[in-house]
């Protein structure tokens, strides 16, 4: 057993080294943003909301994977399994100053490498020799879609690990008569179900496996022996179910937290829940044979699975694996979205790659023994591995967008011509990408090879292969070598975090510089001024990935695009934030104050009290505070003007909130056309007349500059001051000054340049 443990660990390290070589650290689909968004919320504030991705609702329309849930907040409909696993890595990256995006992308390679180790151990448990079990594991790891999926944040890889663990645990429970392995099998199914809900459908299969031979035993055993055997099998079932219960509970709690019901996954809310026999024909042909999604093209080695099943037809575990694969294929073929959006091949079938690799083991075993099938098996394996290698090195194909549109427009059951277009074979697409040098790896960026990082990768792969060979030969140095290799792998991951290219944007591959001093300054200002209980309104269309990579999500956020006019759905989200938070910070970039096309900022200006704006390069940070209760305006009559009365202050109101903000509401009236641009100042002065807090700003948060005022126009103007001052009595005064030279506009009655609104007593 110790030798098998060493071989398993060595194999995992080989697979992991290979996967790290082809890691790209780049989002390729909105699904990944959703998974990362939940992990970030969990790491930042222990929440599951993904309001930061609210902006995706509008460009995606009905295809959005976010939906309104409990409390009017927005949540992703993606399952939580992978996000839970990512959260600790994301949390640590934020604390250590590494890229959280990079750290998240280190997790899928580990998941798939562990799955390869489970495939190897399952092969041994099935009675195959070490070489055959290793061949099955390597065929899975480097010859199936598991490889390219080791570099993306899709949930299918983790579900594949779960199903592999379920297969291994259930098999060993029967073979070794160990209840603990039955429990492990239940944990595996729970992990798969927590990662992708349809995996739960395979559940009855494992229960059936525990009792499939009971009728035969009944015919050949005494009553007492039969009773003991039935009791043992029922115990296996009970322990297996117990292993799934924590995951069932977690999924129910997650669903309830998002959408108010343990059974509501949210897919029905976004129109992605359609399962129907009408989709079966196009789904099963599409996933098996079509040139754009057919598994036989994307992983040719999988064609060995049905032949292997025939050869192993007397082995119950082979039928268990076949049942696992068959159920998943049928379920997803009934799904109207069987094409799985932008992805590499039949994404949903990634979860059954371990089972298919194990079903190919009889033919792999025959090839190893030198039978006539050696050449065709070797050819299939080589083609599969080269296909996966190219898919992992190159940018993922986006050329099938037109196919996806055709699929969504086609009636159920239609066989679309594009599905058999040989020009869309994955190998053809990959050769095209290879010709254009569209690399998607960390050690090539903008066409430049990072020699140090590449050398580190090759060293890690070479060492891992050497230790695997030593472990297979049972050499004692392999123990020390595996420890060394584990350290090398950790060091390689750290080097990738330090030297890896900046993450690239989805979907236009816009690069952003996570080392931007302006963004760092903005985050520093936010950390200094924001407090728990605040909320964020984020408008960063060209720096969005930079934001989620650098900011840890400690405050609730909503991501909003530019809308003119503001959508009612967006206004509702802003109103919800206003209800839940006394202060909102608007985070923007490449926007100008007072832009009438920016509906979100205009809404904040009309409903909130604006505070002091901070600029860090092109980034803007503006606080808006809100009144818990509506203020009542009080009349006042103060005229301002140099040569004559120009502006009248007609009404005012103010309050000091429990948080220490002073909200001031002013109402101005233009008496004549205003020729200059003026700012309003709101001062809090102590008993010596010294200004201790203030806010200066163009009226109505820059949306009503004085030069645009017309005679008789009334302008509501709101300001916010943070009054962090010692206890005492203070005067609240207002006035105006010319932006051009700072000269104050005098009062028309000649008694000064400001108006006293009242006295504030601060305890």
Condensed to tens digits (0 to 9), the pLDDT of residues 299-310 reads 999 999 999 999
Dihedral (Cα; 233, 188, 47, 265), 10-degree rounding: -80
- Same domain? For 240 and 381 the reply is yes
For the chain, the maximum distance between any two Cα atoms, rounded to a whole number of angstroms, is 115
Q: Is the pLDDT of residue 708 over 70?
A: yes
Residue 689 lies in a domain: yes
Residues 422 and 294 grouped into a single domain? yes
Q: Is the dihedral of CA 83, 89, 94, 99 positive or negative?
A: negative
- 352 and 292 in a common domain: yes
For residue 432, being part of any structural domain is answered with yes
pLDDT band at 473 (very low <50, low <70, confident <90, very high): confident
Q: State whether 220 and 339 are in the same domain.
A: yes
pLDDT over 90 (residue 652): yes
Among candidate residues 378, 411, 439, the one where a domain is terminated:
439
| Tally of structural domains, the chain | 3
Q: Pick from 625, 643, 662: which residue ends a domain?
A: 625
435 pLDDT more than 70: no
What is the C-alpha to C-alpha distance for residues 24 and 395, in angstroms, rounded to an integer?
A: 9
Say whether pLDDT at 747 is over 60: yes
User: What's the mean pLDDT in 10-25?
Assistant: 95
Q: Above 60 in pLDDT, residue 512?
A: no
Question: What does pTM read for this prediction?
Answer: 0.92
The more confident residue out of 416 and 368 is: 368
The answer to whether residues 188 and 162 belong to one domain is: yes
CA distance 610 to 622: 7
pLDDT band at 506 (very low <50, low <70, confident <90, very high): very low
355-406 pLDDT, tens digit per residue, is 999 999 999 999 998 878 889 999 999 999 999 999 999 865 455 555 555 5
pLDDT at 445: 77
Give the Cα separation of 589 and 418 in Å (integer). 42
Structure tokens at 85: 């696993």
pLDDT, residue 223, reads: 67
588 and 664 together in one domain: no
The Cα 305–Cα 369 span in angstroms is 18
* pLDDT surpasses 80 at 414: no
Identify the domain boundary among 410, 439, 468: 439
**In the predicted model, what is the mean pLDDT of residues 177-192?**
95
204 and 234 within one domain? yes
Per-residue model confidence (pLDDT) at position 409: 52
Banded model confidence at residue 1, pLDDT cuts 50, 70, 90: low
Residue 407 in this model has a pLDDT that exceeds 90: no
| pLDDT score at 73 | 86
**Structural domain includes residue 19:** no
Q: At residue 621, does pLDDT exceed 70?
A: yes
What 3-state DSSP class applies to 228? helix
Confidence of residue 510 (pLDDT cuts 50, 70, 90): very low
- CATH number assigned to the domain comprising residue 716: 2.70.50.60
d(CA 409, CA 30): 21
Helix (H), strand (E) at residue 570: helix 568-580
Tell me the torsion sign for CA atoms 528, 534, 539, 542: positive
CA 736 to chain centre: 48
Residue 428 domain-assigned?
yes
On whether both 602 and 668 belong to a single domain, the answer is no
Domain residues for 528?
A: 517-625
pLDDT in the model for residue 424: 78
Kindly state whether residues 599 and 658 are assigned to the same domain.
Answer: no
Least confident of 21-30, 88-97, 514-523: 514-523
Long-range pairs for 651-660 at CB < 8 Å and ≥24 separation? Answer: 652/734, 652/757, 654/732, 654/757, 654/758, 655/627, 655/631, 656/723, 656/760, 656/762, 657/582, 657/625, 657/627, 657/628, 659/531, 659/533, 659/582, 659/583, 660/722, 660/723, 660/724
> Is pLDDT of 665 > 60?
yes
Is 64 contained in some domain? no
Mean pLDDT of 314-319: 92
343 and 433 inside one domain: yes
pLDDT range class, residue 617, cuts 50, 70, 90? confident
Residue 644: is its pLDDT beyond 90? Answer: no
Q: Are 122 and 198 in contact (CB under 8 A)?
A: no
- Is the confidence at residue 638, as pLDDT, over 50? yes
**Is 94 part of a structural domain of the chain?**
no
Same domain flag for 320 and 396:
yes
> Are 303 and 376 contained in the same domain?
yes
Residue pLDDT, tens place only, 240-285: 999 999 999 999 999 999 999 999 888 877 766 677 888 888 889 9
Domain annotation covers residue 736: yes
The count of C-alpha atoms lying within 13 angstroms of the C-alpha of 507, restricted to the half-sphere facing its C-beta, is 13
Q: pLDDT confidence of 515, banded at 50, 70, 90?
A: low
481 occurs within a structural domain = no
């Amino acid at each position: 057993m110790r030798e098998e443990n060493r071989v398993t660990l060595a194999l995992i390290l080989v697979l992991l080294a290979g996967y790290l070589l082809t890691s790209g650290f780049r989002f390729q689909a909105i699904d990944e943003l959703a998974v990362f968004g939940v992990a970030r919320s969990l790491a930042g504030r222990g929440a599951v909301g993904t309001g930061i991705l609210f902006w995706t609702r509008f460009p995606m329309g009905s295809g959005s994977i976010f939906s309104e849930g409990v409390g009017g907040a927005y949540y992703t409909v993606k399952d939580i399994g992978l996000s839970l696993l990512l959260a600790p890595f994301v949390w640590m990256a934020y604390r250590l100053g590494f890229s959280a995006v990079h750290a998240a992308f280190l997790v899928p390679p580990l998941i798939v490498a562990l799955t390869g180790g489970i495939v190897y151990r399952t092969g041994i448990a099935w009675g195959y020799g070490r070489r055959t079990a290793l061949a099955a594991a390597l065929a899975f790891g480097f010859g199936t879609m598991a490889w390219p999926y080791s570099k993306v944040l899709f949930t299918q890889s983790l579900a594949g690990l779960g199903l592999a663990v379920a297969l291994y645990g259930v098999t060993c429970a029967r073979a070794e008569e160990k209840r603990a392995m039955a429990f492990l099998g239940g944990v595996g199914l729970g992990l798969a179900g927590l990662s992708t809900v349809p995996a739960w459908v395979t559940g009855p299969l494992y229960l059936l496996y525990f009792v499939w031979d009971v009728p035969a035993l009944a015919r050949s055993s005494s009553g007492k022996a039969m009773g003991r055997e039935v009791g043992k099998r029922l115990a296996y079932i009970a322990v297996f179910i117990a292993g799934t219960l924590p995951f069932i509970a977690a999924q129910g709690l997650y669903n309830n937290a998002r959408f108010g019901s343990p059974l509501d996954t949210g897919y029905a809310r976004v129109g992605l829940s359609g399962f129907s026999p009408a989709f079966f024909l196009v789904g099963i042909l599409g996933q098996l044979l079509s040139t754009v999604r057919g598994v036989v093209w994307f992983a040719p080695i999988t064609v060995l699975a049905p032949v292997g099943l025939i050869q192993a037809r007397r082995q119950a575990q082979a039928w268990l694996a076949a049942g696992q694969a068959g159920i998943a294929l049928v379920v997803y073929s009934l799904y109207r979205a069987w094409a799985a959006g932008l992805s590499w091949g039949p994404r949903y079938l990634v979860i059954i790659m371990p089972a298919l690799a194990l079903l190919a083991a009889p033919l792999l075993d025959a090839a190893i023994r030198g039978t006539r099938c050696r050449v065709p098996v070797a050819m299939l394996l080589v083609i599969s591995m080269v296909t996966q290698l190219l898919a992992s090195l190159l940018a993922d194909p986006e050329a099938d967008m037109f196919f996806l549109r055709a699929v969504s427009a086609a009636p159920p059951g239609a066989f679309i011509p594009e599905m058999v277009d040989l020009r869309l074979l994955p190998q053809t697409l990959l050769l095209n990408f290879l010709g254009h040098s569209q690399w998607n790896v960390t050690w090539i960026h903008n066409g430049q090879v990072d020699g140090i990082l590449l050398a580190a990768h090759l060293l890690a792969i070479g060492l891992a292969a050497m230790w695997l060979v030593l472990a297979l030969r049972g050499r004692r140095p392999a123990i020390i070598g595996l420890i060394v290799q584990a350290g090398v792998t950790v060091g390689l991951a750290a080097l990738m975090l330090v030297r890896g290219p900046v993450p690239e944007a989805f979907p236009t591959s816009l690069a952003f510089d996570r080392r931007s001093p302006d963004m760092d300054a903005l985050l520093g200002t936010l950390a200094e001024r924001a407090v728990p209980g605040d909320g964020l309104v984020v408008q960063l269309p060209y720096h969005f990935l930079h934001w989620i990579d650098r900011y840890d999500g400690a405050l609730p956020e909503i991501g909003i695009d530019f809308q003119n006019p503001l959508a009612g759905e967006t206004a509702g989200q802003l109103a919800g934030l206003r209800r839940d938070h006394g202060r909102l910070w608007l985070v923007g970039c490449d926007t100008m104050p007072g832009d009438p096309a920016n509906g979100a900022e205009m809404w904040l200006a009309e409903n909130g009290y604006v505070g002091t704006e901070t600029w860090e390069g092109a980034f803007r940070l503006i606080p808006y505070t809100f009144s818990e209760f509506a203020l009542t305006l009080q009349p006042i009559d103060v005229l301002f003007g140099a040569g004559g009365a120009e502006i009248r202050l007609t009404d005012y109101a103010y309050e000091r909130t429990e948080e220490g903000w002073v909200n001031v509401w002013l109402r101005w009236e233009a008496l004549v056309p205003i020729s200059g641009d003026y700012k309003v100042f709101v001062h809090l002065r102590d008993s010596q007349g010294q200004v201790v807090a203030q806010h200066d700003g163009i009226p109505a948060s820059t949306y009503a500059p004085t030069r645009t005022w017309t005679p008789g126009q009334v302008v509501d103007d709101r300001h916010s001051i943070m009054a962090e001052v010692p206890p005492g009595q203070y005067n609240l005064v207002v006035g105006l000054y010319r932006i051009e030279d700072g000269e104050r506009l005098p009062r028309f009655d000649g008694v000064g340049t400001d108006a006293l609104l009242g006295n504030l007593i601060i305890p």
